Structure 1
Amino acid sequence: MTLAPSLVAALAPTGTLRACINLGNPVLAGLDEQSTPRGISVDLATALAQRLDVALELISVDTAAKSVDVVSAEAADVGFFAVDPRRATTITFTAPYVLIEGYYLVPQTSAVTINADVDQAGTRVVVGRGSAYDLFLTRELQHAEIVRAPTSPSVVTTFLEGGYEVAAGVKQQLEADIASTAGYRLLNERFMVIRQAMGLPIARSANAHAFLAAFVEEMKASGFVADALRRHGISGAEVAP
C-alpha cells in the first residue's frame, strides 16, 4: 500500500521514524548481548517504519517519564507508554496493545496481606519515579507515603536498602529482582492493570493519530503482538482486547 506523502510526513517529519524505547520496563524492551535494544516495542517500531517505508532510529531511555518527555517535546515521533490521564495532556494514545499488572512486594513477616492493608499511615511505598504506577498510586493512596526510586529497575534495591514497608511495580520486574533474595513475597492480587499503548505528540495531525490507532489494532488482530510476546519470552502479560 502506498501511503500519502502528507501522512508519512506527519508521522516521520525528518524522513526517519524516531521511536523512543523505554528500557526500564522489561515487558516492553531490554538490551541483548550486543547492548542492542530488543523487545516488543522495538518490533512494533520496526514494523511501523517498514509500513511507512522510512528508516528507523531508536532513542533509548531508562524511565517511562523520560520517554514521555522526549515524545512530548517531539524529539521522537512515537513512543510506548502506559495510558494515564496526566500524560494525555501532551501525548495522544492508541488503544492498548498489551496489558500488564502492578503488584505490591512486602517482607515475608509483614502484617500486610491484601492490597487494602497498604494504605495506612506509617507505610512507605517505593515506586519508580514518573512510572504509570507512581502516577496511579499518587492519586489513589490517601495515607501511605510514596518514596520514589530514580527508575523502575531500582525500586527493589531502594526498597531493600532503605528498609521500607512496601515496593510497587510491574509484577515481572519485582519477581525477577527478588528471585535471589529470601524473605519477601508478592501480595496475591494486583493493584492495577497497566495498559501499554503507542503514542504520538498531541500536535500531530488527526490522520496520523488515526493511522497509528489502526496500525495497533492490526498488530493485535494479526497475531503480531502475541508472537512478539512469545518470541521474547514474556510471561504474565496478555494481548489487549
Structure 2
Amino acid sequence: MARLLFSFALLVGLSGVACGQTAPEIAPSGKLRVGMIAITVLGGVAEPVARFIGQKFGVAVEPVMYPSPDAYLQSFGKDEWDIAIGPRVLAPADKADSTADLWVISLVYVAAPGKEFPDIASVDRTGVKIGTIRGAPSERVLAREIKAAEIVRIPLSPTIAADAAELLRSGKADVFGADSGVGYPAADALPGAKIVPGAFAMVRVAAALPKGRSAAAQAALATLVDEAKQSGVVQKAIDAKGLKGVNVATK
C-alpha cells in the first residue's frame, strides 16, 4: 500500500511539472477555453472536470457551451476552444487528438405509457415510432442500426427531458432513445413511462486537443485525464448530478 501511495504521489508530482511546461501551448491566452455540450450528462459533468484540469495547468477556465451536438461538432478546427470534452464520436480524427475515455453513458429507450417492450431488440419493428435527439450520438446509432421502425427527431433544448416526455405523451413516439441523462428524467416526468431493459449503445466521452499540438501537450492532457478518473474527480461530478447509467471509464 505504501508503495502504491508513493507511486501515485510521484505521478501527481510529475504531472504538475508536465502541466507547467505545456500550459503556454495548450492555453496560450492564459485561460483554458473548454468546449462542451450544454446538457447535464455532458457539460454538467465536464465543467468540474475542466476546472480540475485548469487548476493543474494553473489557469482560469472559460466554458464554451454549445447548444447542440451539431454545433459542438462544427466547432472543431475553428479555434473556438483550447480543449474540448464531449462524445468521442463527435471529435473528427482529422481535426483533433482525443485522450482515453473519461466516462461512458448508456443509451436507453423510454417506453410511452401502455407500450410494452420486453427488451431493446423488440423495439425495432414495423409500426413503432422511435423518438430521439437530432444530431446526438443516439441518433447516429439509431440511423445506422434501426431497420424497420420509424425515427422521429426533435432538437436538443434546455428542457429536453420534458420535450421527450411530451413526445411520448402525445403519441408521436412509442419510445424515446437517448442518453440516460435524458431517458431517466423523461421516464420520471411521465406517469406510466418506463425504461426498456438494457442499453442499445454506449457513448464514450473524452477530452480532445486541436490537431497539431505537440506530443508533450497530448501527454500532459492524457495524464490529467487519468488523474481525474483515479482521484475521484469524474465520479464526484457524476454523483453531484445524480446521474443514472453513467460510469467512469475503465480505460
Classify the TM-score, shorter chain: 0.7 to 0.9
User: In the alignment, which of 238, 242, 249 is matched to residue 229 of structure 1?
Assistant: 238
Pick closer, same or farther for the CA change 1:86–1:119 going to 2, 3 Å.
farther
Q: Secondary structure of 1:88's partner?
A: coil
- Give yes or no for contact 1:115–1:187 (8 Å, CA) kept in 2: yes
The match for 1:144 among 143, 149, 154 is: 149
Query: For residues 213 and 44 of structure 1, what CA distance do their matches in structure 2 show?
Result: 13
Out of 23, 28, 31, the residue aligned to residue 42 of structure 2 is 28
Q: For the Cα contact (< 8 Å) 1:71–1:200, is it kept in 2?
A: no
* Counterpart among 10, 19, 22 of residue 25 in structure 2: 10
1:162/1:108 CA distance change after superposition, 3 Å: closer
> Alpha-carbon deviations, 1:154-175, whole Å to 9, x = none?
4443444462122111223222
Give the root-mean-square deviation of aligned CA atoms: 2.5
Alignment correspondent of 2:114:
109
Unpaired runs of 5+ in structure 1? Answer: 30-38
Matched, 1:206 2:189: no
Residue 181 of structure 2, aligned match among 172, 175, 197: 172
Count of residue pairs the alignment pairs up: 231
Greater Cα radius of gyration, structure 1 or 2: 2
Shift of 1:23: 1.9
In structure 2, the CA distance between the partners of 1:140 and 1:207, relative to structure 1 (3 Å rule), is farther
CA positional deviation for 1:18? 0.6
SS at match of 1:169: strand
Task: Using the aligned pairs only, state the percent identity.
Answer: 26
Kindly indicate whether residue 230 of structure 2 is the aligned counterpart of residue 217 of structure 1: no
SS of the aligned residue for 2:189 comes to coil
CA gap 1:10/1:129 in 2 versus in 1, 3 angstroms:
farther
**Residue 23 of structure 2 contacts residue 57 of structure 2 at CA under 8 Å; is this kept in 1?**
yes
**Which aligned pairs between 1:79-98 and structure 2 lie closer than 5 A?**
79-84=84-89, 87-98=92-103
- Matches of 1:193 and 1:13, distance apart in 2: 34
State the TM-score, normalizing by the size of structure 1: 0.83
Residues 102 and 193 in structure 1, CA contact (< 8 A), matched pair in contact too: yes
Greater percentage in helix: 2
Deviation at 1:70, TM superposition (A): 2.2
**Distance change (3 Å), C-alpha of 1:6 and 1:70:** farther
**2:80 alignment counterpart:** 75
Partner amino acid, structure 1, of 2:142: L
Give the C-alpha shift of residue 228 in structure 1: 2.7
Task: Indicate yes or no: 2:207 matched with 1:194.
Answer: no
Counterpart of 2:130? 125
Shift of 1:19: 0.8
- Which whole-Å deviations, capped at 9, do the CAs of 1:220-240 have from their partners, x for residues lacking one? 112222233334433442211
Normalised by the size of structure 2, how large is the TM-score? Answer: 0.80
What do residues 181-226 of structure 1 show as CA deviations (whole Å, max 9, x unaligned)?
Answer: 2232210111112222112223433332232222111111122222
- Correspondence for 1:34: none
